[in-house]
Amino acid sequence: MWKASPRCNAPFLFRRLHYFAGRRVLIHVRVFVNFTTARGI
């Protein structure tokens, strides 16, 4: 369905990509903070 009109679903795909990227960055930041606090830096 989205192949017929890619321009219509472009914002939706971009929003999904941005959402997943934001979640990945948040997870990386959380792991980095936990690692640094565990080492006592």
Please tell me whether the overall predicted TM-score, pTM, comes out greater than 0.75 for this model. Answer: no
User: Domains of the chain: which residue ranges?
Assistant: 9-41
pLDDT at position 10: 78
**Residue 14 pLDDT:** 86
Chain position carrying tokens 């930041």: 29
pLDDT (tens digit per residue) in 2-40: 455 656 677 888 899 889 999 999 999 999 999 999 887
Contact 41, 34 (CB under 8 A): no
